[in-house]
Amino acid sequence: MIIQTIDRRSCGERASSFHPETDVAVFGFGCTETVRYRKELSGETSRLKDLAALSEKAGIVLVAAFDSDNYGIIRHSCGVFDKGKLLGITDMSVCRETNGYMPGCGNRVYDTAAGRFAVAVGDDAFSFDLMKSLVVCGAEAVLLLSEKKRTECVKIILRAYSYLLGVPFFYLGDDGGEATAPNGEPVPFSGEKGDRVELTAPADFTLKTTKVRFSDP
């Protein structure tokens, strides 16, 4: 899976800036204006439709971070579009700061033309239980999008997640990105304008689950 980043400094270029080998294009926060669901439903705005059309025109999977307004409830969100179709929207489900943003839902694994991956938004990046759940549910890679700048803590937890869970992780923040291989090693990637990175799940990776039946008390 080859991922190309489009940040707030280059989002005006849109489809013309996609490399022909790109499988997934990721738009960071700041590229898409606030999506107000009331206006989207009434036809006053068409931001989700425009993103879907862009993914269809470019023939790629598009992951776009944006703020969403659900009738006055503001959230950090991320939409996943697969060659013209909106597959779903994932919200940040954990709010660690009192800044007006509300928790949402939609954490899931997306089955796309580029592969099976999960998306997590904002402070959800710091929830190991969530990351583990996404991988157990079949995610072959996890994409984390944040409106904040990178910290050393982010770099450390990305490597820990990859090492413990056995899948590559990708992070795009306000000042660039990070990526790690399934063995926990960092992958050369800056997240700067048009930068690309390839995420590859280990060939011997197999999801194993166990069913447990609890007897009645």
Q: Which domain holds residue 175?
A: 2-198
Do 149 and 30 meet the contact criterion of CB atoms below 8 Å apart?
Answer: no
In a domain, 163, yes or no: yes
One digit per residue, the tens of pLDDT, for the chain of length 217 reads 888 877 655 555 455 577 788 889 888 888 888 999 999 999 999 999 999 998 998 888 999 999 999 988 899 999 999 988 999 999 998 877 767 788 888 889 999 998 899 999 988 888 999 999 999 888 999 999 988 888 888 889 999 999 999 899 999 888 788 889 988 898 887 766 667 887 887 666 555 666 677 776 5
**Spatial strand order in the sheet of 115-121:** 109-112, 115-121, 142-145, 169-173, 176-180
Q: Is residue 216 part of a domain?
A: no
| Inside any domain, residue 106 | yes
User: What pLDDT score does 154 carry?
Assistant: 87
pTM: 0.84
Query: Could you tell me how many residues make up the chain?
Result: 217
Asked, for residue 203, whether it belongs to a domain, the answer is: no
d(CA 48, CA 84): 10
- Whether residue 125 is contained in a domain is answered as yes
Domain assignment of residue 209, yes or no: no
Counting the structural domains of the chain, the total is: 1
Distance in angstroms (rounded) separating the CA atoms of residues 23 and 118: 15
- Would 55 be classed as within a structural domain? yes
The answer to the question of residue 85 being in a domain is yes
Give the 3-state secondary structure of the chain.
Answer: CEEEEECCCCCCCHHHHCCCCCCEEEECCCCCCCEEHHHHHHCCCCHHHHHHHHHHHHCCEEEEEEEEEECCEEEEEEEEEECCEEEEEEECCCCCCCCCCCCCCCCCEEEECCEEEEEEEHHHHHCHHHHHHHHHCCCCCEEEECCCCCCHHHHHHHHHHHHHHCCCEEEEECCEEEEECCCCCECCCCCCCCCEEECCCCCCCCCCCCCCCCCCC
Q: What is the CATH number of the domain that holds 124?
A: 3.60.110.10
CA distance 126 to 7: 22
